[in-house]
Amino acid sequence: MNRPSRLLAISAGILLMAGCGAEKSKLKTDTEQFSYAIGVEIGRSLDPISTDLDYKALKHGMNDVQAKKELAFTDEELEKIKMTVAQTLMEKQQQKRTSDGEAALKKGEEFLAKNGKKDNVVTTESGLQYEVLTEGEGANPAATDIVTVHYKGTLINGDTFDSSYDRGQPIQFPLDRVIPGWTEGVQLMKAGAKHRLFIPASLGYGEMGSGEKIGPNETLIFEVELLDITKP
């Protein structure tokens, strides 16, 4: 199914969410619970375009189909409408993403400029900044080594987007398979060390961002604890 068709198909499910929120005690049968689960999934899928929908018109279209009435538009016209609106929505989303990225880049640059003036913060040639919280011992890892770490990642506003501490499980990975800021920053550490890394967007996820929590051009802060180094 192409994107515009999928968009309209998903929109049809809004009828499942009409009215007040459902109470768990009233969803007793398998059919009711399954329908509610589908409704939640549809609601989440609609969230990015919720402000662009006219729910009265949506319900009108649903009712016409269910009542087998003559539709206001031919199938060809409907397809054209979906294609046009879907293109408009994608353009709006891209414009917002560009605007958000520009704002995030500016805030990140201002943050790093101020942060780099602190006595305990070191700025490398690439623009990476780091602060030593705990010294380690032994050799530094090479980019080709496999490292085991605990970490916590936050945005410059303090929001946590990921944490191995919260999961209660460190992670292990080849050091050359992660974002450049990590590859460079962890090589500056020794086993047992704990550093705070301040990673500019160019050494992080850049204009693409990552998932829902890391937007375009976000500056990232990681507290990283290097637990072990293994040769490949």
Residues ≥6 apart with Cβ < 8 Å to 215: 97, 100, 101, 104, 209
Catalytic residues: 151, 161-162, 179, 205, 222
Q: Residue by residue, what is the 3-state secondary structure of 58-112?
A: HHHHHHHHHCCCCCCCCHHHHHHHHHHHHHHHHHHHHHHHHHHHHHHHHHHHHHH
Using DSSP bridges, classify how beta strands 129-134 and 171-174 pair: parallel, antiparallel or unpaired: unpaired
Query: Is the separation of the CB atoms in 181 and 162 below 8 Å?
Result: no
